[in-house]
Amino acid sequence: MRRIKAISCVPWVLGLCSACSADWPQRLGYHVLQNAGQLQCQKAMANDCERRQSYDAYQREREQLQ
């Protein structure tokens, strides 16, 4: 019975994964690096830690440069 339930969940999982955008690895990497930079700035107790731009703003800027 459990095996049937597990097998019936496979299409749902595949559907959810395919619904994700193709740029999720780049988006995730961007956010990881931005958060690491922010933490490093905060650890240094700097008062001028700049606000990081969003991934979407970053992508728009890159597209304008090309």
Q: Please provide residue 32's backbone torsions phi and psi, each rounded to the nearest 5 degrees.
A: -60, -45
Only one residue has tokens 């049937």, namely: 4
| CA 55, chain centre distance (Å) | 8
What pLDDT score does 51 carry?
A: 79
Q: Count the helix, strand and coil residues of the chain and give each as a percent rounded to the nearest 5.
A: 75, 0, 25
**4 has a pLDDT exceeding 60:** no
Q: Are 55 and 27 in contact (CB under 8 A)?
A: yes
For the whole model, what pTM was predicted? 0.58
Domain parsing of the chain, residue ranges: 23-66
- Residue 38 in this model has a pLDDT that exceeds 60: yes
State the Cα–Cα distance between residues 60 and 53, nearest whole angstrom: 11
